[in-house]
């Protein structure tokens, strides 16, 4: 990550940007990043990129794959609560083919 987001949020709040605006911008950015992560995972699966396929399997905890396989979108929610980067959870959801519309919820 080239520049951490926390100082940007702090500067926005200190610059008198309304807090609901900062919250909405952060929520939209996070939601968009989740969608992009899902699409990255789906692309890895669709293109059968072996090097990325192996990387995803190494980065993802076996329990995470099991939860998402058994629980689908609920597994994504559970993964978001785990102490792992959300990017790994969204890539895995895309890779495993969790229903996209349910993923959006």
Token pair, residue 68, equals 């998402």
Summarize pLDDT for 48-100 with one digit per residue, the tens: 766 666 676 676 667 777 777 788 788 888 777 776 777 778 888 888 888 88
Q: What is the pTM of this model?
A: 0.71
Token pair recorded at residue 67: 């939860």
Residue 104 CB neighbours (<10 A): 11
Outline where DSSP puts E strands in 11-57: none
CA angle 82, 95, 78 (to 5 degrees): 20
Whether the Cβ atoms of residue 38 and residue 96 lie closer than 8 Å to each other: no
């Amino acid at each position: 990550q080239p520049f951490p987001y926390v100082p940007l949020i702090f500067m926005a709040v200190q610059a008198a940007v309304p807090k609901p605006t900062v919250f909405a911008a952060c929520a939209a950015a996070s939601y968009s990043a989740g969608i992009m992560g899902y699409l990255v995972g789906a692309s890895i699966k669709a293109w059968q990129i072996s090097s990325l396929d192996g990387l995803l399997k190494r980065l993802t905890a076996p329990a995470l794959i099991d939860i998402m396989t058994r629980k689908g979108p609920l597994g994504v929610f559970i993964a978001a609560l785990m102490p792992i980067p959300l990017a790994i959870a969204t890539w895995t959801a895309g890779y495993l083919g969790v229903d996209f519309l349910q993923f959006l919820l």
